[in-house]
A and B are shown apart, each in its own frame.
Chain A
Amino acid sequence: GAVVSQHPSRVICKSGTSVKIECRSLDFQATTMFWYRQFPKQSLMLMATSNEGSKATYEQGVEKDKFLINHASLTLSTLTVTSAHPEDSSFYICSAPWGDRAYEQYFGPGTRLTVT
């Protein structure tokens, strides 16, 4: 099946700093990628849709200036958490759909962000 990787798998940063998370589709191209956030014991919440060659689409309530998304190529999307605060600590997961089938998505392994 399709493989999506994320880097880093976990990161600890100090409050006020920025953190970049990479999401790569390893064996297929993705013009669209999705970024989710998951708090402990909760379900995944879609944050934004990353579009190659154009601006990302953010879900309601997600600050676009805080969570910067760049879809640099057909296999790479990055999420930068700017001026991170402890409340941004969470599990961040990206996904890429198989072709144009958004209902069949392949997820990365996730990135555990801890802001101290």
Chain B
Amino acid sequence: LAKTTQPISMDSYEGQEVNITCSHNNIATNDYITWYQQFPSQGPRFIIQGYKTKVTNEVASLFIPADRKSSTLSLPRVSLSDTAVYYCLVGGNSTLTFGKGTMLLVSP
């Protein structure tokens, strides 16, 4: 399983765009990149997943460079309710291994 590295924490203000980058240097050819969001005392919530280039859905965008050794989750115009831990996971059709995640704090 590819190991991931993310910043431990990030701070932002309401209305700003937040980009969280994840490094996964030993990603395998058949690995997908998936991001989850977790609020305190809740199960993680699937945000977005991608394999290469750019993926966008109603809540976020995921940018993946050609070498796939990193990925960036982009949250447009964050609000206070986006304060959470964000996990980057890399894997194929096997089990998920959660790293420490990035604690995003959004302030007024």
Stretch at the interface among A13-21, A71-79, A105-113: A105-113
- Asked whether B108 is an interface residue with its Cβ less than 8 Å from the other chain, the reply is no
Which residues of B sit under 8 angstroms from A34, Cβ to Cβ? 95-96
- Interface of chain B: mostly helix, strand, loop or mixed: loop
Q: How many residues of B contact A (CB 8 A)?
A: 24
Q: Choose among B49, B100, B101 the residue that contacts A103 (Cβ–Cβ < 8 A).
A: B49
- Asked whether A51 is an interface residue with its Cβ less than 8 Å from the other chain, the reply is no
List residues of chain A with CB under 8 Å of any chain B CB. 1, 4, 6, 34, 36, 43-46, 49, 91, 93-95, 100-110, 112
- Asked whether B94 is an interface residue with its Cβ less than 8 Å from the other chain, the reply is yes
The answer to whether A104 touches B95 (Cβ under 8 A) is: no
- Interface of chain A: mostly helix, strand, loop or mixed: strand
The answer to whether B91 touches A103 (Cβ under 8 A) is: yes
The answer to whether A110 touches B43 (Cβ under 8 A) is: yes
What residue of chain A has the Cβ atom nearest to residue B34's Cβ? A103
